[in-house]
Copies of this chain bind each other. A is one copy, B any other.
């Protein structure tokens, strides 16, 4: 979705290309979204932050809603290669390795973006779909791989409810940021792994 559309056989004369500013604009939109939420955000704010004109935004997106939808959808772009995940040999090792990953690093930002659009999700199915695909599903699929490996390794029971296990981490992190207003730091994440996720997975406390 979005980005410099590479159709148009011959852009003959003129300036550089089409819509070169898209990334900056979408990024500005995400920043404002995280800071003030969907309703608090104005098109002027986004334009100013991206050092663009409001007209430029409307040349590319037909409405505020579409801009935000596109911005959220583009978060999915930097998706993780599921085949290149850390493989340490233990479930705990894999989970701990994940929290040092850059995609985890900006977890807090993503959660704030989520906070900015939750109220919209109930009203707009498109937004619900986009948010799910960009913010919820990628995280779950990473975890799915990790737990699947642990099952192959006989580290956890083969009949584990992987879907449930996958949601524990995201749920605890989201609650921490959105409801408690506390940071998702390394200590919290490790405590959650050792104190909640691994016990729920059936890994014995001492069994490293």
Contacts and interface: CB of A to CB of B under 8 A. Distances in A.
A-B residue pairs, 8 tightest by C-beta: A37-B119, A39-B39, A171-B175, A199-B199, A196-B200, A171-B171, A199-B200, A115-B118
Contacts of A23: none
A168 interface: yes
B116 A112 contact: no
| From A118, A164, A167, A191, residue with most partner B Cβ within 10 Å | A118
A37 B114 contact: no
22 contacts: A35-B122, A38-B119, A115-B118, A115-B122, A119-B119, A121-B178, A121-B181, A128-B181, A132-B179, A132-B180, A135-B179, A161-B195, A164-B196, A167-B175, A167-B176, A170-B179, A174-B174, A174-B175, A174-B179, A195-B200, A199-B200, A200-B200
A1 to B, nearest CB: 21
B171 A37 contact: no
A142 to B, nearest CB: 16
Contacts of A36: 119, 122-123
Nearest to A119: B37
The complex is assembled from copies of this chain, and their number is 2
Contact of A136 (B119, B135, B179): B179
Interface residues of A, number: 42
A14 interface: no
Interface string A6-32: 000000000000000000000000000
A119 B40 contact: yes
A196 B168 contact: yes
A175 B179 contact: no
A118 B178 contact: yes
A9 to B, nearest CB: 43
A181 B135 CA distance: 13
A167 B178 CA distance: 13
